[in-house]
Chains A and B, each alone.
Chain A
């Protein structure tokens, strides 16, 4: 198993964000976490990337325990997190944002290669290289946030609501790029409120409700599941 969350719980004060959440991600998979707002999807990703230390449970990556590491150490081990709301550096240029994505890397040739890779996925970023990131549209910022994450040449990419607030056309574009990133051999953990989009991309899915995993199955099976269809896919059509 490449990445496992084992019975992790995260508390905010006395309120629990997630309770005994267990998730297994195999190398080369796209794994979707779906559920309503506040179900604990983002918190799970934040626990994996070290932004929020779990109060109990363990997180393992490449055979090592990572739940007591800092976010920067976890990033350097090969987990990139595209946070909810893009969180690009607004007063830095597109180029500088991408440069920050490769902050901890020393291999100049590799960085240049990955920069070309980012431009292949997102040709628009090459045109906007000197623009301040905060002045771009939401879709462009999402592309930049994803590009920035790819600049660390990650094994696993955690994506938090990449389609949020984007037009249906842009959602399709983002979906296509997630497929491309996956085709490059990267593992993706995808958090989405757009359950149909997420499950159509993923091989495996987890359904979260009020901080706990209530269902896990192959993505295809979840798309067929009556309860999932009713609750998350907008009726039984």
Chain B
């Protein structure tokens, strides 16, 4: 691997890690509060991409505004899903799995019915050209992902550690019964966590819309990686998920560059298996938010 390729791969890895982090943090947050693995999280990502497709590509809204509006739209989707699908199955792992997997299929079918299944929806690239960083060429379209992730993850950290409501969310993740004894309304916090979770997945999908193929099934690839990231990170650990996201970003990018994409996916899964053997609680599994 020569120097320009190396630098190129590093920048690709960081940007891929940023997307993984944005998606996985939402998944970890929802898991932490609800103890429920949301298999529809990839479809929230897909929904975010469609928000950009509809608002920006079809509707002519400025790209940044379309990306930002993906947050409330998909957050609302998360809240509705929580209220009518997750809440009735709370505390039942199998029912929760079936329900979230069911939501994933329903969202795919709805989107497919409305906007078609066949050809991918093309979203024109709003930011042409590339920045030159130490000899590597990084397209602006990818580069804007990095500050977006920093703002979102930083904002989430501030909310969880400096705002009373955010602290209450952590309290629920650590001991839901004790939290209810402090006067914290568990249903409100659960809805809030799903709103944030959905919003994060939505914005990630929105940012990827001009880069990825926008199809009803685009959630598949991201959900597998997101689960690997969350498992490696320690299920309910935000910090662990961020760390694992960047590690996975590097593994996927470098193995793809040196070998191929299939091997990269396998390497990611192998990495998860090794972590689970060596440290079954995940990288930072003992820290729950």
Contact call B164/A71, Cβ cutoff below 8 A? no
Contact call B175/A87, Cβ cutoff below 8 A? yes
Is the C-beta of A99 less than 8 angstroms from some C-beta in chain B? yes
30 contacts between A and B (CB under 8 A): A49-B181, A51-B177, A70-B180, A72-B180, A72-B182, A75-B180, A75-B181, A76-B183, A81-B181, A83-B177, A83-B178, A87-B175, A87-B177, A87-B178, A88-B178, A89-B170, A89-B174, A89-B178, A89-B179, A90-B175, A91-B170, A91-B287, A91-B289, A92-B167, A96-B167, A100-B167, A100-B171, A100-B182, A103-B184, A152-B183
A91 CB contacts on chain B under 8 angstroms: 170, 174, 287-289
Q: How far is the CB of A88 from chain B (nearest CB, A)?
A: 7
Query: Which residues of chain A have a CB within 8 Å of any CB of chain B?
Result: 49-51, 70-72, 75-76, 80-81, 83, 87-92, 96, 99-101, 103-104, 148, 152
A81 CB contacts on chain B under 8 angstroms: 181
Question: How many angstroms from the CA of A76 to the CA of B185 in the assembled complex?
Answer: 11
A83, A92, A103 pick with most chain B CB within 10 angstroms: A103
Question: How many angstroms from the CA of A200 to the CA of B183 in the assembled complex?
Answer: 31
Q: A92-B167, A96-B167 are in contact. Are A103 and B174 (CB under 8 A)?
A: no
B170 CB contacts on chain A under 8 angstroms: 89, 91-92
Is the C-beta of B230 less than 8 angstroms from some C-beta in chain A? no
Number of B interface residues, CB 8 Å?
20
Contact call B182/A152, Cβ cutoff below 8 A? yes
Contact call B182/A101, Cβ cutoff below 8 A? yes
Q: How far is the CB of B182 from chain A (nearest CB, A)?
A: 5
Contact call B180/A71, Cβ cutoff below 8 A? yes
Q: A72-B185, A89-B175, A91-B174 are in contact. Are A100 and B180 (CB under 8 A)?
A: no
Contact call B177/A100, Cβ cutoff below 8 A? no
**Other A-B pairs beyond A83-B177, A103-B184, 18, CB < 8 Å:** A49-B181, A51-B177, A51-B180, A51-B181, A75-B181, A83-B178, A83-B181, A87-B175, A87-B177, A87-B178, A89-B178, A89-B179, A90-B175, A92-B170, A92-B174, A99-B164, A100-B179, A103-B168
When C-beta atoms are compared, the residue in chain A nearest to B167 turns out to be A96
Question: How many angstroms from the CA of A195 to the CA of B179 in the assembled complex?
Answer: 29
Within 8 A of A (CB), among B154-186: 164, 167-168, 170-171, 174-175, 177-186
Q: How far is the CB of A49 from chain B (nearest CB, A)?
A: 6
The one of A87, A88, A103 in contact with B183, judged by C-beta atoms closer than 8 angstroms, is A103
Q: How far is the CB of A235 from chain B (nearest CB, A)?
A: 37
B287 CB contacts on chain A under 8 angstroms: 91
Q: Mark B167-211, 1 if CB is under 8 A from A, else 0.
A: 110110011011111111110000000000000000000000000
Contact call A100/B288, Cβ cutoff below 8 A? no
When C-beta atoms are compared, the residue in chain B nearest to A71 turns out to be B180
B164 CB contacts on chain A under 8 angstroms: 99, 103
Contact call B184/A72, Cβ cutoff below 8 A? yes
B167 CB contacts on chain A under 8 angstroms: 92, 96, 99-100
When C-beta atoms are compared, the residue in chain B nearest to A86 turns out to be B178
Q: How far is the CB of A85 from chain B (nearest CB, A)?
A: 10
Contact call B182/A148, Cβ cutoff below 8 A? yes
Contact call B171/A92, Cβ cutoff below 8 A? yes
Question: How many angstroms from the CA of A110 to the CA of B210 in the assembled complex?
Answer: 53
When C-beta atoms are compared, the residue in chain A nearest to B181 turns out to be A81
Q: How far is the CB of B28 from chain A (nearest CB, A)?
A: 14
Q: How far is the CB of A142 from chain B (nearest CB, A)?
A: 14
When C-beta atoms are compared, the residue in chain B nearest to A133 turns out to be B174
